[in-house]
Amino acid sequence: MQKKYKTYFIDLDGTLYRGKEKIPAAARFIARLQAAGLPFLVLTNNTTQTPETVARNLTANYDMLIKPENVYTAGLATADYLKQLALGKKVYAIGELGLKQAILNQGFSFDDYRPDYVVVGLDWDVTYRKFEKATLAIQRGAKFIGTNADTNLPNERGLVPGAGSVIALVERATQQKATYVGKPEPIMLNAALAHFGLDKSEAIMVGDNYNTDIMAGINTGVDTLLVYTGYSKPADIAKVAVKPTYEITSLDQWKV
């Protein structure tokens, strides 16, 4: 029996689109949520882009009228987490504009030498010097935050290094484990729940990847909807101990 939910948290690649390929059922699903007046957040571990960029891409290329306020990136979740920790206002960040802008927007300033936090995410132009600054700052006592643990990203050339691979270098250099924010960790979904002022029983996490999307829901105590349009396959789910709350082959099957 399908339960009714007040808010939807929705993954991007594999759920709302596949690379550059549209998923028509996904566009219809978003339109049904909007017609029903149900709030939703698109949750992505991608910290390189701003919510404006993500929304513009979905609207222009995938037939979805998405606004920036519908997008919650691991960069935004990281900045919200820093604010919640309240250990200070200075940050050293390895990452792209999406991450750095989110941190600045929460009132933090950047400090290369003695920051309160070192935040490491995906950086297309990462250098030894950046790693050196991060390592030394953590050794001086800065709290070490990783945006997300994704070791690889798929693109047209294959599986390229993701944020988790960048963070792993700093972990080895400092011999410290980062605190991870993005899916499948509960920090990101808890922040999304706080965004709407909801109890975990009132939301559902929708995604195609059991290891990130569905585990994020399970780790947070949020119900989950696995759609078989991307990464995970029925044969994979047959082997897992904790099943998704719901499994479907198309978002057309879901009644909002």
Instruction: Identify the bridge partners of residue 118 per DSSP, sorted by sequence position.
Output: 92, 144
> In the 3-class helix/strand/coil scheme, how is 155-205 assigned residue by residue?
ECCEEEECHHHHHHHHHHHHCCCCEECCCCCHHHHHHHHHHHCCCHHHEEE
11 belongs to the catalytic site = yes
Task: Sort residue 221 into left (φ over 0), alpha (ψ -120 to 50) or beta.
Answer: left
In the chain, the amino acid numbered 81 is Y
Q: Is 13 a catalytic residue?
A: yes
Ramachandran category for residue 158: left, alpha or beta (phi over 0 → left; psi -120 to 50 → alpha): left
The sign of the torsion formed by the CA atoms of 131, 134, 137, 142 equals negative
The rounded distance, in Å, linking the Cα atoms of 94 and 127 is: 10
Enzyme catalytic residues: 11, 13
